[in-house]
Every structure is written in structure tokens, then in C-alpha cells.
Amino acid sequence: MSTLTVNLNERSYPIHIKAGLLLQAGFFVPYIKGPLAVIVTNHTIAPLYLDQVIAACGDKQVATIVIDDGEQYKSLEQYGFIMNELLTMNAARDTTLIALGGGVIGDLCGFVAATYQRGVPFIQVPTTLLSQVDSSVGGKTAVNHPLGKNMIGAFYQPILVAIDLTTLQSLPAREFAAGMAEVIKYGIIYDAPFFSWLEKNAEALKKLETETLAYAIERCCSIKAEVVAKDEREGGIRAILNLGHTFGHAIEAEQGYGNWLHGEAVAAGMVIACHVSKHLGWQTADQVQQVEALIACFDLPVQGPDTMNLATYMPHMRRDKKVEAGNIRFILPQGIGQAVVTKEVSDSLLHTVLG
């Protein structure tokens, strides 16, 4: 088992990565603070892994809350439903929540954990590639609003992230590809050698070769842990983890949550950001082509919807969480392996890129 640590002083926690981790009976027992664990999952994941997680809770009392599957259920309505279930079962402050699923379950359960009785411990058990390499690590929790993605939430760290590589074997191809967008992101913003490694190992990753996947996931988690340890609440460097997200969140909101998967929207958003960087002289045409080629290799989109232009992107981007004093802050790559946060993007440049 590979173990990383997110170093946040008293809020530090481990990330365990192993194939078959959920089959270890009693694995979660040391992390469950009180007598009760409540597993929050969805109807897709429950038949596959719920029994394993219950067994991994050992002799602890276990309750389950199962919701429907999909980005549209990362909502205040579902937040209220889970809260009602916890109150009905008289869950106490020492109850440990376990988020079993992808990014929707992790973000939703985490936000519930942050606010139920002003905070209860929770464990992330991510089952999608996207959640394993990104959303389960770092403590961002939220629900969506019709006017904007992740606009209602809190920074709240888990006490454990448990990544079982075998859960990826049941992941639909489209969901796996969506996760690869976030994997590629780390190479663009932080680690040029990792980007080159991804180019060389793309076929092995698509075949779900365990050792190759393990390295990719561990490297992504390591980068995110390092960045989060430097800037837990996104006051500085952590913002670079949002490459492609300003454009991507606009696509998700405009197209309707769930019609474009998060990773698909981020993939298109990263290419848009690269074209902006090219116009600023921060990235060459060859580097943009490199990014596009790697993204396309995983059957991800390399442009936004044909129905969107600057006029449809802008209302969403002006509600982005990175807006500061009325100015949109963009995360843009400088070459491959480095990114910056900047306000120096004119409307005319955006019009050139977005139409």
C-alpha cells in the first residue's frame, strides 16, 4: 500500500492507495471516531462496493444513505435530504460519515460533514478516477446552484482518503476519460516530466494497467497534497489547480449539469486557456497542439460547445469564485509544467478565442 500525507498540522490526514484496499476487513475501524458510521453513496455504487465498506467498518454500527446518481443531485435538495436522515437517526457529533462514490458524493457528503452539528469527521472513499486524483483530496466541499457550480460550500478536510484502484475496473469508459482530464491538468500546471510520461503511457492507462494507474494517481495526489499544504484555502498557489475550470464551469452551468461531465468541460476549458496563453505569448502553437493531442487521445473534447460564445460564457465566469473586485482571474499555462493566475485577459482577447 502506498501512503501519502496531506500536511495541515492538526488537520493532517493520510491518503492510502492500494488495489483491493476495501477488501481488508476492519480497515476503517481505527478512523471511525464513535460507535456509528454512516455511509453516503448512490444507487450505482451501492450494489458494487457497499458490502465491502460495511465489512471494512468491522464491529462498528453502520447506517447507509443512498441517493440517485448524477451531477444534478449535487444540490441543496439532496443536502437537506441527507441532513434529515442524520437527524432522524439521531446521529451524534462523534458519528463518522463515509463518502463512497465519485466527486458528487464526496463533495456533497463533505459539505454535510462540515455543517452537521457544526462539523463531524468524514472519510473519502473515491470510486472514480476524477475523484481519486482531485476532488477527494484537499477539503473542498460544495453543492451546485442553478446559477453556478460549487457556489455553496466550505473548506473541510477529511480524516482519511482511501483509494482502491480496483474500483476503476467498474468505471464506464466516458467517466474514466473525464478523470484523465484532471490527470493531464497536473502535468500542464506543475510537472512537465509527468506530462511527457502521460504522453508515453497513454495506451497503458487506457488499458487500466494497475501499475501505470497507481503511479499516475499517486503522482497526482502527491502534487495536490503539496499544493494544498502550501495554501489550504486557495489564497495563492492553490488556484492553479483550477486550470480550465473557469471556462469548464461555465460550460457545465450553461449546458445543464450532467450533460457535459465535469472532466469533459475541464478538458475543453484547458484547451481554451491554452489558446488564450498562446495569444499572450505564454505558450507556443506546438505546446498547444501537444495539449490538444493528449486530451484528444482520451476522446475528450478539445473545444467548447458550438452553441456557446463570449456572450454565453461571460455571465457564468463573472460569478466564478476567483472573481476579485469585479475582475475575473484566469489560470493560464506558461509553457508546459507551470501556470499563473492573472487578470490580464481583455474582453477583446476572449472574443478572439471564444467568438
DSSP per-residue codes, 307-325: T--HHHHHHHHTT-TT-BT
> In whole angstroms, what is the distance from residue 128 CA to residue 114 CA?
22
Q: Is 43 a catalytic residue?
A: no
Q: Are 345 and 173 spatial neighbours (Cβ–Cβ below 8 Å)?
A: no
Closest by CA to 311, choosing from 249, 348, 355, is 355
List the catalytic residue out of 9, 118, 200, 207: 118
Q: Please give the sequence-ordered ranges of beta strands (E in DSSP) within 104-190, or none if there are none.
A: 122-126, 140-145, 148-155, 160-164
pLDDT of residue 321: 82
In the chain, what are the domain boundaries? 2-170, 173-354
Q: Is 245 a catalytic residue?
A: yes
pLDDT of residue 325: 78
Q: Is 218 a catalytic residue?
A: no
pLDDT of residue 324: 83
Q: Is 182 a catalytic residue?
A: yes
Q: What is the mean pLDDT of residues 308-333?
A: 92
Query: What is the band of 335 on the pLDDT scale with cuts at 50, 70, 90?
Result: very high
Place of cell 461571460: 314
pLDDT of residue 34: 96
pLDDT of residue 326: 82
pLDDT of residue 322: 82
List the catalytic residue out of 71, 85, 175, 234: 234
CATH fold for the domain made of 173-354: Dehydroquinate synthase-like, alpha domain (1.20.1090)
Containing 89, the helix (H) or strand (E) segment is: none
List the catalytic residue out of 71, 85, 175, 182: 182
Q: What is the mean pLDDT of residues 249-253?
A: 95
Q: Is 42 a catalytic residue?
A: no
C-alpha cell at 115: 455543517
Q: Are the folds of 2-170 and 173-354 the same? A: no
Q: Is 207 a catalytic residue?
A: no
Architecture of the domain made up of 2-170 = 3-Layer(aba) Sandwich (3.40)
> In whole angstroms, what is the distance from residue 316 CA to residue 144 CA?
13
In percent, the amount of the chain with pLDDT more than 70 equals 100
Q: Is 90 a catalytic residue?
A: no
pLDDT of residue 50: 98
